[in-house]
Structure 1
């Protein structure tokens, strides 16, 4: 387990069995309450909370939510805060989210909802099981088993839509959007309608969010903004500045120091190591 910026962070010891599903464990540590700004990410996020203190989310819409939460594709500022918070956070690719949640991510756009609203009693049951578990590996196993069951029973996105999403994500948002319909053999209208309904975003906006995600993580790692803009497909550095401001509400210089991004390289695979804040090792993985 690693400790950074008021959080102890645990990762599963082995890759998960479910494609498009990533997990990490978070435990608030230190005397001060946790209060961090959430940076938008191209995934649907679940917070399965089981600690003594409530997890509180102040959404961009002005609404406040507590407990087990589901956040759709964020656009703008959102804050997570609380004391004695413990949770398993799950990131779902939009392809997996469509099946696991039992609803389209389009229904969650700009919204944070409680898992109880979506799942009812099973949401309360997983909280009880996580609270009773004695270690992070046990909690990860419980969470994965729940998601495997839901994937086996849930509906899947169209193969053409899943392929289009993989093209967008694999290109880091730089794929030619106008070519996607041609490549899958559908009309533009059909692909855009199915993609929006099943993934939750229009293809162009999905690509923009993926591109933003890679750019801000490079900013957090200390890379030069001009180089990031050139490599990331932005017209120029001003274009990068506008996108960062639009999605995060702050400038590139400010977003580079966000705690949320500093934690990402520890909690999730595939991100560059941030330069700040400093990370220390914790002794226990329980």
Structure 2
């Protein structure tokens, strides 16, 4: 286990553990969190280009709810674009897994059902979810927990239904180009009409291609803002039309200004817990566009 600490006040709330080995599954990232304080924790969940699974290891002390009034206690799955989702609790200990939507489709089922919602893990995995949580809670170290989770995810990915190679190819190009892609060009590259790509991508990834590209670009932008880059510089680097365009996108996704998002608590732990993005596609993206 590699544990890490940060001097930032928000990051200092948590003890964070990460796997000591390189990621063995493409499109999967994992980190363990244990609250250092018994004070209540209340954190907003902001859109990220990965599906998030939070496995509660503290016996139901983690509660996650959204603006619809739905609240889930225990292990949950959060879609790509959560709306008003907040996590609350005391003495929280959890394993957080970030899944590329390409991987999430096989591991969890159709991501379109998760858009903006919080879903109990039990609803998606049934009795397997309870067994999975029991094994994680009984583990004697974070390294053992990471190994258990990795093996379980690998089994479910192998048994699950993969996304279309064309969809995986388009997602990977969105990520590698920081969201700066033209859907029509990618559709032509994989040999599909724009309408077919739009429909298949939406049903399997959970967002339409345009919104998915905006989300990837937003994620890149806010991390550069948090690193101290000016809004003008970030807008130019990421491909926004101008600084006002960046401002509108940050407002739309995070509900705050670029200046406020640069100090957001949810970004304080990212460099510690997630050394590399977890949303790169899996192997099914390899050759979808090359033979066309």
Output the TM-score relative to the length of structure 1. Answer: 0.91
Structure 2: any 5+ residue segments left out of the alignment?
6-10, 278-292
How far apart are 1:212 and its partner, in Å?
A: 0.3
Structure 1 match to 2:104: 97
How far apart are 1:50 and its partner, in Å?
A: 1.1
The answer to whether 1:21 aligns with 2:23 is no
Structure 2 match to 1:278: none
Aligned mates of 1:78, 1:121 — CA distance in 2 = 25
Aligned mates of 1:81, 1:234 — CA distance in 2 = 34
Q: 1:60 to 1:213 in 2, by over 3 A?
A: farther
Q: Is the 8 A contact 1:53 1:84 kept in 2?
A: no
Structure 2 match to 1:37: 44
Which of the numbers 231, 239, 242 marks the counterpart of 2:237? 231
Aligned mates of 1:63, 1:234 — CA distance in 2 = 35
Which of the numbers 140, 157, 161 marks the counterpart of 1:134? 140
Structure 2 match to 1:177: 183
Q: Is the 8 A contact 1:76 1:249 kept in 2?
A: no
The answer to whether 1:83 aligns with 2:90 is yes
How far apart are 1:53 and its partner, in Å?
A: 5.4
Q: 1:216 to 1:9 in 2, by over 3 A?
A: same
Which of the numbers 1, 4, 15 marks the counterpart of 1:2? 4
Q: Is the 8 A contact 2:82 2:117 kept in 1?
A: no
Structure 2 match to 1:60: 67
Give the stretch that moved more between structures: 150-159 or 48-57: 48-57
Count residues in correspondence.
270
Aligned pairs for 1:240-259 (under 5 A) are 240-259=246-265
Q: 1:52 to 1:37 in 2, by over 3 A?
A: same
How far apart are 1:269 and its partner, in Å?
A: 1.8
Partner of 2:81, secondary structure, is coil
Which of the numbers 166, 190, 193 marks the counterpart of 1:187? 193
Aligned mates of 1:61, 1:110 — CA distance in 2 = 10
Structure 2 match to 1:147: 153
Give the stretch that moved more between structures: 15-24 or 109-118: 15-24
How far apart are 1:227 and its partner, in Å?
A: 0.4
Structure 1 match to 2:287: none
Which whole-Å deviations, capped at 9, do the CAs of 1:103-132 have from their partners, x for residues lacking one?
Answer: 211010010000011111111111111111
RMSD: 1.3
Q: Is the 8 A contact 2:16 2:273 kept in 1?
A: yes
How far apart are 1:76 and its partner, in Å?
A: 3.8
Aligned mates of 2:170, 2:207 — CA distance in 1 = 12
| Runs of 4+ that moved beyond 6 A | none
Give the stretch that moved more between structures: 121-130 or 45-54: 45-54
Aligned mates of 1:75, 1:229 — CA distance in 2 = 24
Aligned mates of 2:151, 2:41 — CA distance in 1 = 29
Output the TM-score relative to the length of structure 2. Answer: 0.89
How far apart are 1:16 and its partner, in Å?
A: 2.4
Structure 1 match to 2:119: 113
Structure 1: any 5+ residue segments left out of the alignment?
272-286
Aligned mates of 2:198, 2:157 — CA distance in 1 = 24
Aligned mates of 1:238, 1:75 — CA distance in 2 = 24
Partner of 1:5, secondary structure, is helix
